[in-house]
Each structure stands twice: as C-alpha cells, then as structure tokens.
Amino acid sequence: MRTHARPSARRRRTLLRIRGGWSRFLAPAALATATALAVTGAQLPAPAQPTRTQAAADTLPTTFDPKAAERVRQEQCLLDGVLRKGGPAMKEVARAGLLGTEEQLHTAADPEYWNTTALSTAFDTDKAAADAKLDELSGRRSVWQQSLAVVTPPPPYTYTGFQWVADKDNPYNAVGLSGWCAAQFWKQEDDFYANPHPLAGKESVDAAAAVYNARYSPTSNEDYEDRQAWASMQFMHGMYADDARLFLQYGGFPTVAPAADSMEFRIDVENLKARFASCAYSSPPDPHQVLGEEIATAHRVARRDRRAEDPAGRHPPRRGPGQRRPLRGLAGEGRRRTGPVAAYGRGRQTLRRAGRGQDGRRQEGRGAGRRRPGRGRARRRAPGRTTP
C-alpha cells in the first residue's frame, strides 16, 4: 500500500499497531531509572553548573594622575595651535603626535624649542621654505619684464611704464601670497608656546577679590591653604577666566563636592570639559581636595570624545580596493549593510531583477526575477482577434 506519509511517521504508526509496542520500550527505561535512584540514594544528580567568569565590571578602576592628565591636555592644546598656525612641516609633526601614542605625543610637543626638538626642526624647515618661496615670487618680476621688453610700446604707455610691473599690478601681491610668505620671516617661534589660558576681565577679578577678602582671614591658620591657592591663581600670570568663574560660583574655594549621581555633578563635569576645550588645560585650584572625581571624569570623557573624532582635522582615510564605505550613524558605524535592501533607493525593479519579491524574500522557480507578461507593457494582440 502506498502512502504519502514520511518514513518516520509510518514507523510510529506500525509501532502503535503492534501489541505491546510501548511496553517494550517503557520496561527498560523504568529499570534504568530505578537503578539510578538506588545508587544515588533516591536523589537525581544535579545538573552541571557553568563556571562563573569575572565580569568586566569586577575589574578595579585605573588610578588617575592629575599631573599627567594636565600634561596631556597642555600638549594637545599646543599641537592644536600648531595645526592652525604652523607651516606644512610643523603640521605633519602635530598630526603624528595627536594620532600617536602618549609617548609620541610627549615627543612631538616637547616645549624646549631652544633645543633640537621635532617642532623646532620643522619650524626651521618651514621658515626656509617660506624664504625660498618669497625669493621665487620676487624673481618673477624680472621674467615678466623680459617678456614686455619691446622696441615701441603700445599707446598710451611710455617705454618705462609698459615694461615696469607696479606692485599694484603684481598678481602675487593682489592675492596676498607675497605678504603671507613675508610674514613667515617675522614669525617668532615662541608664539606657539605662549600661555593659551583665557584671562578674566577686570570686573570678574574685582568680584572674586571682594569674595576672598570677605571670607578668608589674612592671619588665620585655618585659611592657610586657601591663601596659598589664592596666591597661585595670579602667580606670574593674570587670573584665568574659568578660575574666576569657579571661585564666584562656589563663593570661595569649594569644601564639598556633589554626589557622583547628581545633576550638579554632571553640570560641573560639562563645565570642566568646556574649560579644557578652551585650552585652559590646568586643573582648577582645589585646596581642600574635593574636585578630584569631577576633574578625572571630565578628563576621561573629553579624551573619549576626542578619540571618537579625528583630532588632527584630516579627511577620512581613503578606501582601498575592494573596500566599501561604512554606514554612518551610531547604529551602522563600521558595519556593512546586508539583506534584500542592500541596493536601497533603486526601487522595486531592483528587487524584481534580483529574483526577490517586494517583501524581500527570494522567489523560487524558473521564472523568478523575470518580468511577468501583462505587467508594465501591453501585450501585442494578433490582428482581427478580440478579447472576449
């Protein structure tokens, strides 16, 4: 007898028809279970528990060195300024330092420019290139005059007026190229290493001084640390703008800090990030040592945000042969789009030609992916034949 059931289903039906079929299989199973209970003392063995691995959250946090962090911020600010104001050779050194390791950052931003450093060598290279370019531009005047040396100048020019190229007619002067090359000669190397901290205005300094004089005693031992911190705020430089802001915000030097999970803590961290982004790389005065967690959090978040973008301001790297452009955005960054909508934007014709339906599933069959008759174009009818 033929049947369309699967072989396994036929075997199950045959087994049910045999008298005592289930009992043959149940008897050995019951015997094995009774034996296991007798051996284990009427207790089934417990299933094996997976071995617990140490989670990432269990690792101890790394220590934060405020002095080392301040040095990193100072060097990054220096190289950022070089990218804006330096020549081609200096910019290459700055890019290598910003995109390299911390040791490469220290090497590229060595502030002792009076010695032979990477930046000082690049500065000399750029200055020599600017001097050579200025000489080249100045020599173009004689070349133009040779081409204008004619026996009879056209009217209304004089002989000298036609051959002489005035400064106002020099195209290099008109576009500012000659002036830029000449300015490189007068550029001082120590300008790159000037203190970049924004200074506070007179009104802010006076307001901070009034708060200091009203709160702290000039002779009390309890205010000794505060007096030292106040003196350091204006030692060999003017009062920094963000130092004055913090002093006025707290009404003096802070003695307590907000909790790490509070809104005030988050606001303080964002303000410190703005401070560091303005090249005020130094840590704020903290004589009572209560702002350490805020400073550490702001520094780490700022470094993480800096790694997320190109710090050297370069264009995205070129794709090699066979590489595709990654999807942009948080969800698709670095990933390649797959699935039936890989050729998105081409419409339903792309899916139909690829052998897929409008739902994205691949169509099976001989005619998958072909245009079905009657769709799009009208079929040609034979002459004299009418449609019923």
pLDDT, tens digit, 9 for 90 and up, residues 41-84? 444 444 444 343 333 333 334 688 999 999 999 999 999 999 99
Give, to the nearest 10 degrees, the angle between helix 241-250 and helix 263-277: 160
Mean pLDDT of the residues in the chain: 75
Q: How many CB atoms lie within 10 A of CB 107?
A: 17
Instruction: List Cβ neighbours of 130 (8 Å cut-off, separation of 6 or more).
Output: 87, 181, 184, 185
Average pLDDT over residues 138-157: 78
Structure tokens, 15: 């087994």
Task: Let me know if 13 is exposed, middle or buried by CB neighbors in 10 A (0-12, 13-18, 19+).
Answer: exposed
Q: How far apart are CA 377 and CA 81, in angstroms?
A: 65
Whole-prediction pTM:
0.59
What is the per-residue pLDDT for 344? 36
> Minimum mean pLDDT among 44-58, 209-223, 266-280, 357-371: which range?
44-58
Task: Let me know if 226 is exposed, middle or buried by CB neighbors in 10 A (0-12, 13-18, 19+).
Answer: buried
Q: How far is CA 73 from the centre of its chain?
A: 16
- Please determine, for residue 111, whether its predicted confidence score (pLDDT) is greater than 80: yes
Q: Is the dihedral of CA 68, 74, 77, 81 positive or negative?
A: negative
What is the per-residue pLDDT for 343? 38
- The number of helix segments (H) and strand segments (E) in the chain equals 15, 0
